[in-house]
Amino acid sequence: MKLQVTVPDAQNGLARTCSDPRVGDMSEPRWLSESELRVWRAFTLLIARLPTALGSQLQRDSGLSFVEYYVLAGLADAPQRTMRMSQLAVFTYSELSRLSHVMTRLERRGLVRREPDPEDGRCTNAILTDEGYELLVSAAPGHVTTARELVVDALDPDQLQELGRISERIVASIDARLEREERERPARCRPAAADSPMRAE
C-alpha cells in the first residue's frame, strides 16, 4: 500500500507530499516554515564556518588546530596544569578516542604528556609542559583578536548579550537531550564508567 508522506520542499521550506511505498507508518514531523528554515540555514552556516575560520588562523600562526588550542587552554587553567583525560574530553567536547589522537600529536611536539593518575591508576592524567604553555601564550593574542573581529565586534553590546543567552539555551537543550538519551540506552550498550568521556572524575 502506498502512503502519503510529507517532506520538506528544499526550495522554500514549505511542505509537499509524495507517495513512497517504502515508507512505513510514522508520525508527521513538524517541518520548518520558510522563515524558520531561513534562520536554520544561517545558523548552520555559522557553526560550520566559524570554527574553520578560527582554526585557519591558529594553524597559520601557531601550527595548532582548533581543538589542539583548547586542549592546551584547558590544561593551562587546571591546577598544576593537569587534568584527567575524561575531564579534558568533556572540556573539549571530544570523544576519548578522538582526544587520544589529538594528545598523541601534541606529545610528539613536546607540548603535553600523559601519566597514570597517582590517586587512581585506572585513570590517565594529561599534563601541559612548559613548551606547551609557552606556545599557548604566544598563540592566545592572535586567537582572541580573531574571535573579537569575527564575533564580538560584529555585534553591538545588546546583541552580544543576547547571543550569550541564546547560546546558553541551545546548549542546555542539547545537554538535556544527551542526558535523556543516555538514560534510555540499554545498560549493556553503555560504556564502562571509567571509559566514558562524560564521567566527572
Which whole number is the average pLDDT over 138-165?
A: 97
Is the pLDDT at 1 greater than 60? The verdict is: no
Length of the chain counted residue by residue: 201
Place of cell 587552554: 73
Say how far apart CA 136 and CA 61 lie, in whole Å: 11
pLDDT bin (cut points 50, 70, 90) of residue 178 is confident
Is the pLDDT at 26 greater than 50? The verdict is: yes
Is the pLDDT at 75 greater than 80? The verdict is: yes
The pLDDT value given to residue 29: 86
**Beta-bridge mates of residue 3:** 20
| CA-atom Rg of the chain in angstroms | 22
Check residue 132 and give left, alpha or beta (phi > 0: left; psi -120 to 50: alpha): alpha
Is the pLDDT at 24 greater than 60? The verdict is: no
Is the pLDDT at 74 greater than 70? The verdict is: yes
Query: Which parts of 22-156 fold into alpha helices (H)?
Result: 34-62, 66-77, 85-92, 96-108, 130-150
pLDDT bin (cut points 50, 70, 90) of residue 176 is very high
Say how far apart CA 171 and CA 174 lie, in whole Å: 5
Reference 83, options 128, 125, 130; nearest CA is: 125
By DSSP bridging, strand 120-128 and strand 82-84 are antiparallel
Q: Answer for the pair 91, 74: CB distance below 8 angstroms, yes or no.
A: yes
Sign of the C-alpha dihedral computed for residues 101, 103, 107 and 110 taken in this order:
positive
The answer to whether the pTM exceeds 0.75 is no
pLDDT bin (cut points 50, 70, 90) of residue 45 is very high
pLDDT bin (cut points 50, 70, 90) of residue 120 is confident
Which stretch of 4-13, 91-100, 117-126, 132-141 has the lowest confidence by average pLDDT? 4-13
